[in-house]
Chain A
Amino acid sequence: MPDQATPTRPFAARHPSVLWFIAALALFTLGVTVLSEATGVGLISTSFVKTLGKMLCLCLVAIAMDVVWGYCGILSLGHFAFFGLGGYAIGMWLMYARTEQIVLDQMTNEVLPPTGTEIKDAIGAQIFGVVGATDFPVIWAFSHSLTLQLLMVVLVPGLLALVFGWLAFRARVAGVYLSILTQAMTLALALYLFQNDSGLRGNNGLSGLQNLPGLESVPQAQVSIWFFWGSALALGLGYLLFAWVVSGKIGSVIRGIRDDEARVCFLGYNVEGYKLFVFTLTAVVAGVGGALYYPQAGIINPAEVAPIASIYLAVWVAIGGRGRLYGAVIGAALVSVLSSWFTGGGAPDVDLGVYTIRWTDWWLVLLGVGFVAVTLFFPKGIGGLFDLVAHRVAPVRVGDYGPDDGAKRKEEGPAE
């Protein structure tokens, strides 16, 4: 293998795209910082900084999706659920801590200083009043502690992915069956969260997450740029992590699993273990992405976790180009920004005389049709354009049809 023939070459030299990406991300972050209200000339509004920050988080979950799907061949329709779980985990602390402050402020006028139980009861009544409850459910046991809740951001999606993945991979569920099963898991989670007695405020979700406890005096413009930096940092680190994972021996094995699972299995690799590792790792990264996303969005509710969101995630990755990390970033950034431009009324209406096309109504039609076209005609996605620049031509190897044709049977491959 070429990688082992030149072990002394540094990682960055072997993967120039990583350097390029980090440079581009740094440039982008610098640009937004200079143009923002809080730290620069103020050309970009606070809400747009938030949109860009959220976009970076979506890029993070998109590269996780790319690793699990584009590299490992598992079309998971559940990664946005892990994203949402991360958001819920951090949201619980944000909501608890902020409500605690409100309650304490209210109680300063009381004749007697409040006891711990009284404070806790008052917080419970505030938070769960909308669903007709007052007591704290068991799952809120750690919500008072930021450290523990941050741990939950990683543990909850990680454990769910571990258990689910173990069950699914052990039963040799693969291909479209696995996709449907992950979708079912997502649906079950969403339905569970929709219940009022789930302990997470049902349909109402968690709200007011943009207000950081203890930082009420800091303007939102400042908070938004902090979160933007945090998201950029997380994306950069996530990119490095995944670039490292997919470049080494693990990367070779998981690509092998994608292209011919049986063969990798016969070579003596523990296919289940590799799949489980990739599935769980990407779920954890998705959770971290969610924990950064929802404080910028301000609200999280069960609709965010619904199966459709996870399918959109797959759509972004497919449009951007599977099997290359920067492709996923391009897809997620482009589609999410386009989507908010079209649905936000930014795109001008097209007057056809007999009918006016309003993009708020027609954007989804355009996305759906465009997506079908990409799948049919540009299976490499937008990222494939970079191959033209780099003059990268995939070597024709018998039995290896690359990321796009990997699922083909031998008889459908190109002539040998």
Chain B
Amino acid sequence: MLRFIMLALVCAVLLPVTGRAQDLQKVLQSHHAEVADPGRRTVGVVLDDLLASGLPGVQTFLERWQDKEVAVRVSDGQFFYAEEAEDDTYTLFAIPGAETVRTGVSRDAIEEVKPNGGVRREIRNALVVFQLSDPDIEKRRDAVQAIGRSLKPSHLKSLQAAIPGETDPALKARKTRLAAYLVARYGKVADARIAAIAGLSDDISVETRAVLSQILEARPGVAEALPRDANIARVLEPGSDDLSRAEAYARLVDAGRARAVVNAADIRDALAARIDGARVGGVPVAQLDTQAARVRAYKVLATDGAVPPLVTPAEQARALQEHVFFEVYREVDSRITDAARDAQASVAMRLAAGKAVDLTLDAMSLASIYFLAAIGLAITFGVMGVINMAHGEFIMMGAYTGYLVQLVVPDYTLSLVVALPLAFAVTFGAGVAMERLVIRWLYHRPLETLLATFGISIALQQLAKNIFGTQARPLTSPGWLDGALVINDVIQISYIRIAIFVLALLFLGLLLFVLNRTRLGLEVRAVTQNRGMAASMGINPDRINMLTFGLGSGIAGIAGVAIGLYAKVTSEMGQDYIVQSFMTVVVGGVGNVFGALAGATMIGFFQKGIEWFNPSNTLAAQTYMILFIILFIQVRPKGIMALKGRAAGD
């Protein structure tokens, strides 16, 4: 009994296959002209029929068709796979079985089918369906990508079929997601669509948002009463933020339900076209230099019937009163649109959270850049009280040092390793030289220090311009710093910014260590607190001042390399940072490394916060930030981290 059933089953399975197997040729014959001489526009019908037939040999046929291996026999119009043999003859194989039919067929007996590029592209798109289950993972990936690019309802069946057999988890998730998109948008069963839509509510990708908004696509409508059977998205009140009264009236005009408003330009044109002698509507032309006079003349013309009468405000108001403005979903089932709206709200909330995280990351990276630029100043200005307007130029010198090193050392990683200490050495030297030659003569004339260092700043800037020219020089980051850490579609941060953040932290630690844990740091603090007392304790204040200034300048050089990696290296790059750096130190609190950190954090977050409200205008963000700082100093004149006790100096 069992054996009998098995046999019956085998027959049931095999018979139709063998029966249908011959049908592929039949399908092809039914579209003989389109297969033998395919065109990009006509081939679609053939492909649809072939895919719909579900025959087993279709994939092979499509691949070989695409590879120009199909031929038609001239004598009976049958299609074969043809392979050229060595002696200029062809071997024909049957479609679909691929068993050899004849060898040694001459070139004249057959005609090769040669689809052009456009047709081959169509065939390739059709083949995507088969590649979804291809053993080669690359092909599967390409197929899924192709489907993702243009979602079509016809893909759904093969996509769903390809999900269970998928071994790669990432690809499986992707297939499932695409299938969900397709169900959500084109599914036939309402409950299945609602379930699919609900499943999308935790995804903030651009694709999901696009799918949801496509489901929720609405068109504007206007009627005398709200239609009962339509799936209304929302009712708009004329005069609200979403629909101004003028827009509402324009909709009425477009719908042919009201007369167009006669505006000032229309009145002018109408009057100009109807000048009769030196008068229009009885009013002399020379008097028409006010709007009131023009309206008067127009009204005369209107009563004569020469022009359409003015649309009075009362008439407009009545027209608006008599109509209701709304938007109606293209989707008729309100359950589906409700589900999509819920999903959209959930996505929007997740999106806002993601953006907040992203903004925080951005702000932290901006803060670390400000911190790097300002940390050298925190030493020279904050600890020593010396104002160095050439600090920005030290940053520039560091960046140019990095550029020069890259000219010599081609390997970017190695050049960076060389450039960082070298930049420190160069700017350390420059700082020491400046301290010895200029600043030490001016320690008690701070305003003149400001001006003298400004003189050095313009000289250095022009010198750099003379040497390196005005165009920006590249400072290329090594390959492992390229790209960005992508967490999802919203949250991402480039590796270079992470590197700068790490560098900033590193310097914070290093500086704290030097100032608080080393002999040099102790002496620096002693000299800044009480120079005379330090000197009598055997500390050489001149030497300490020189070294401290060198240290601050050297750090500016390293900051220059870091900044140069993501910004352009120009002779003016220092200028962009100098005011912000001073602000950072002043806001944070003078005389304190943590102050610079706090100042940089506050300024970074504040600037990004303003940019969030007004993303298109970074100039405005900077303006408001500076105004905020000026006001902030009113509240806390000594900055966020005011020094307490004797060290404060007053």
Please give the residue numbers on chain A whose beta carbons come within 8 Å of chain B beta carbons, in ascending order. Answer: 69, 73, 75, 110-118, 164, 167-168, 170-173, 175-177, 179-181, 183-185, 187-188, 191-192, 194-195, 197, 307-308, 311, 314-315, 318, 361-365, 367-372, 375-376, 379, 404-405, 407-409, 412
Contact = CB atoms under 8 A, between A and B. Distances in A.
Contact of B446 (A175, A187, A192): A175
Interface string B292-305: 00100000000000
Given A172-B637, A315-B454, A364 B462 contact: yes
A124 to B, nearest CB: 15
Contacts of A118: 264, 268
Interface of B: 264, 268, 271-272, 275, 285-291, 294, 387, 389, 438, 441-442, 444-448, 450-452, 454-463, 465-466, 575, 579, 582-583, 586, 617, 619-620, 622-623, 626-627, 629-631, 633-634, 637
A176 B450 contact: yes
A180 to B, nearest CB: 5
Contacts of B617: 195, 197
Contacts of A192: 619-620, 623
Given A315-B454, A361-B465, A167 B619 contact: no
B633 A368 contact: no
16 contacts: A75-B447, A113-B288, A168-B633, A171-B634, A172-B637, A175-B447, A183-B582, A185-B630, A188-B622, A195-B617, A307-B579, A315-B451, A315-B455, A365-B466, A375-B451, A376-B452
B466 A361 contact: yes
B455 A368 contact: yes
A191 B623 contact: yes
A164 B456 CA distance: 29
Contacts of A164: 630
B447 A372 contact: no
Contact of A167 (B264, B457, B586, B630): B630
A407 B447 contact: yes
Contacts of A412: 444
B614 to A, nearest CB: 10
A409 B445 CA distance: 9
Given A113-B286, A180-B583, A167 B631 contact: yes
A179 to B, nearest CB: 6
A188 B626 contact: yes
A400 B444 CA distance: 15
Nearest to A177: B586
Nearest to B618: A191
Contacts of A311: 389, 451, 454
Nearest to B289: A113
B642 to A, nearest CB: 13
Given A113-B289, A115-B289, A188-B627, A375 B452 contact: yes
Contact of B457 (A114, A180, A368): A368
Contacts, number: 165
B619 A191 contact: yes
Contacts of A187: 579, 622, 626
A362 B462 contact: yes
Contacts of A371: 451-452, 454-455
A401 to B, nearest CB: 10
A368 B444 CA distance: 21
B265 to A, nearest CB: 9
Contact of B579 (A183, A361, A367, A409): A183
A188 B623 contact: yes
A233 B458 CA distance: 34
Contacts of A75: 447, 450-451
Nearest to B458: A368
Contacts of B264: 117-118
A350 to B, nearest CB: 14
Contacts of B275: 111
B287 to A, nearest CB: 8
Given A188-B627, A375-B455, A112 B447 contact: no
Contact of B455 (A113, A172, A191, A372): A372
A375 B448 CA distance: 7
Contact of A112 (B271, B455, B629): B271
B445 A368 contact: no
Contacts of A116: 289-290
Contacts of A176: 387, 446-447, 450
B454 A111 contact: no
Contacts of B288: 112-113, 115
Contacts of B448: 318, 375, 379, 407
Q: Which 9 A-B pairs have the closest CB atoms?
A: A368-B459, A371-B455, A364-B462, A188-B626, A113-B289, A111-B272, A368-B458, A372-B455, A375-B452
Given A318-B451, A407-B444, A184 B630 contact: yes
Contacts of A364: 458-459, 461-462
A339 B18 CA distance: 97
Contacts of A175: 446-447
Contacts of B459: 364-365, 367-369, 372
B64 to A, nearest CB: 58
A183 B457 CA distance: 16
A307 B580 CA distance: 13
Contacts of B620: 191-192, 195
A110 B288 CA distance: 12
B637 A362 contact: no
Nearest to A112: B288
A16 to B, nearest CB: 29
A184 B630 CA distance: 8
A184 B583 contact: yes
A314 B626 contact: no
Nearest to B273: A111
A111 B288 CA distance: 10
A112 B272 contact: yes
Nearest to A366: B459
A367 B631 CA distance: 35
B462 A368 contact: yes
A365 B637 contact: no
Contact of B626 (A184, A197, A375): A184
A375 B439 CA distance: 11
A192 B626 CA distance: 11
Nearest to B389: A311
Contacts of B622: 187-188, 191
Contacts of B465: 361
Contacts of B447: 69, 73, 75, 175-176, 179, 407
A171 B451 contact: no
A110 to B, nearest CB: 8
A318 B294 CA distance: 64
Contacts of B627: 188
Contacts of A185: 626, 630
A372 B452 contact: yes
Nearest to A306: B575
Given A167-B631, A173-B633, A375-B448, 15 more contacts: A69-B447, A112-B272, A114-B289, A116-B290, A168-B630, A171-B633, A171-B637, A175-B447, A185-B626, A188-B627, A191-B626, A314-B451, A362-B466, A372-B438, A375-B451
B361 to A, nearest CB: 25
B634 A167 contact: yes
A369 B455 contact: yes
Nearest to A413: B444
Contacts of B445: 404-405, 407-408
A115 B626 contact: no
Max chain B CB contacts within 10 Å: which of A167, A184, A314, A408?
Answer: A184
Nearest to B448: A375
Nearest to B275: A111
